[in-house]
Structure 1
Amino acid sequence: MVAGRRARTLFLHGLAGKAAVWDALDLPVAADKPELPWHGMADPAWSHLPDPGRIVVDVVTPGHDVVVAHSLGANLLLECYADGRVPPRPTVLLCPFYRPAPADFDWPAISYYLNEFHRTFTEALRVGETARFPEAKREWLARALRDQVGPYGWTRWFETYLRTPFLDLSRVDAPVLVVSGVDDVAARPDDGRALAKGLPRARFELLDGCGHFPMIEQPDRLAALVRDFLDEHWS
């Protein structure tokens, strides 16, 4: 990394997440961790407009040397890179959603992501500060989060996923580290692997024993990966 200056790093959380999900990461960076409009139990008004990518455009500044983004945040950032609204820079994409061809989406996939949408929130509650709660309470909270996100929030997320085959990945010419978890019930490891393969300068890391929230489940391992990435690419 540059001598005498820490990388100014922007952290973008996923749908129904919160800025605090990054707190366990021990990184030598100047961190910006905004609470994004789609945070947990947020007012769903953010999803009533058709372009949530505009929020990413507003929070990523020329002063951000590096971006680390998770789930929906990762996908919106990738889309803004690919359509030229945000200049690419060294980036870590955690558990992104990606399919390289329209035919990769079928009716069973849509049924799974619609009817089992709450499972992602169940996983978050299992590994976070709510892990101490009884399972029945965590399940209730997961469904409450799903209901708070609502049909519009789900639609904005799934629209972003459906657009991934049409992204011009050749425009994302900065180094990218793509990280997926073997046990992710939301973003398949194959999604991350295919995305890294399609990007010009990407590397893929698959974390054993990890699901959709590596910054909570394996913060030390993730921090080591990010530090190595910074040492190699931020200068």
Structure 2
Amino acid sequence: MNTVTPRLRRPAAGTAAGPLRVLLLHGLGGRPSVWHPLIERAGEELELWDAELPWQAMSGSEGWGLNPDPARFLVELVDGRFDAVVAHSYAANLLTEATALGRIAPRPTVLVSPFYRSSVRDFDWSVISYYLNDFHRVFEEALEVGETGRFAKAHRDWMARRLRDQIGPYGWMRFFETYLRTPTLDLGAVRSPLLVLSGERDTAARPADGRALAAAVPGARFELLPGCGHFPMVELPDRTARLVEDFLRAAAVPTHPPLELS
């Protein structure tokens, strides 16, 4: 997959100021459908888009991990098209890095369950072992809270390992390299209005990661979601949609004309 094409998921209702065009980005081994609960609840002034990213579940594009610069997919996708971005997990990290490096122009951004460490000393062998040997547990959680929650646990566990194997060593390396670079990012240079959301019970991207990331970005806001894991938009869709909508309504300015639908 060389390019990613955004898809309109829900047009906005007519507003005097014009719609806010918002792009929703899923995480590693996820799918655009993870945003459906939020799309159903978001305010009508938001024009909502998503995209099938190369690292989506069962995409048949396992070779994306061979690309040393997966952030380029987001750079090509985001700039010049959207008033705001909401990104989950791995996509949140790629977006943060690209913004810190000036590859993506500032715009209101919501990061959901991002990975972050403020010091290189935070990465020791136990951290590497956890994210390597327990990598499948992130997918187990996704399968438990999503539409697949109706399946038996044994079947969900099998699916989680299939997802891990589909991503493979190269995809895992791209993920962990991005995580390892987080202490080196100049987050003080980020000028995007920023909201960071973390689940209190997230065992993949620790809530401490989200809190530290928000603290490093000037003016950023952090929200901890009690009783929630790695997928707030699925586990607490009403609360997550309200936080995203209120933040974007205050921070974003429409810059695009209403979409012409044929």
TM-score grouping bracket, smaller chain normalisation: over 0.9
TM-score by length of 1: 0.97
Once the two structures are superposed, the pairs formed by residues 181-200 of structure 1 within 5 Å of their partners are: 181-200=199-218
Structure 2 residue matching 1:17: 3-state secondary structure = coil
The answer to whether the aligner puts 1:16 opposite 2:29 as a matched pair is: yes
- Give the equivalent residue in structure 2 for 1:4: 17
Structure 1 residue matching 2:24: 3-state secondary structure = strand
Q: Distance in 2 between matches of 1:140 and 1:223?
A: 31
Letter in 1 for 2:42: L
Letter in 1 for 2:229: G
Once the two structures are superposed, the pairs formed by residues 201-216 of structure 1 within 5 Å of their partners are: 201-216=219-234
Structure 2 contact 107–252 (Cα < 8 Å) conserved:
no
| Root-mean-square deviation over aligned CA pairs | 1.0
Structure 1 residue matching 2:218: 3-state secondary structure = coil
Structure 1 contact 174–201 (Cα < 8 Å) conserved:
no
Aligned pair partner of 1:51 in 69, 77, 81:
69
Question: Once superposed, which parts of structure 1, at least 4 consecutive aligned residues long, lie more than 3 Å away?
Answer: none
- Give the equivalent residue in structure 2 for 1:71: 89
Structure 1 unaligned segments of length 5 or more: list them: none
- Give the equivalent residue in structure 2 for 1:224: 242
- Give the equivalent residue in structure 2 for 1:32: 49
What do the CA deviations read for 1:37-61 (whole angstroms, capped 9, x no partner)? 1000122111111110111111103
What do the CA deviations read for 1:111-169 (whole angstroms, capped 9, x no partner)? 00000000000000000000000111000100010000000000000000000001111
- Give the equivalent residue in structure 1 for 2:144: 126
Q: Distance in 2 between matches of 1:4 and 1:90?
A: 17
CA shift at 1:103, angstroms?
0.3
Rg larger for: 2
Structure 2 unaligned segments of length 5 or more: list them: 1-14, 254-262
Letter in 1 for 2:33: A
Per mean C-alpha deviation after superposition, the further-off stretch among 71-80 and 26-35 is: 26-35
Percent identity reads 59
Matched length: 234
Structure 2 residue matching 1:162: 3-state secondary structure = helix
Q: Distance in 1 between matches of 2:47 and 2:246?
A: 16
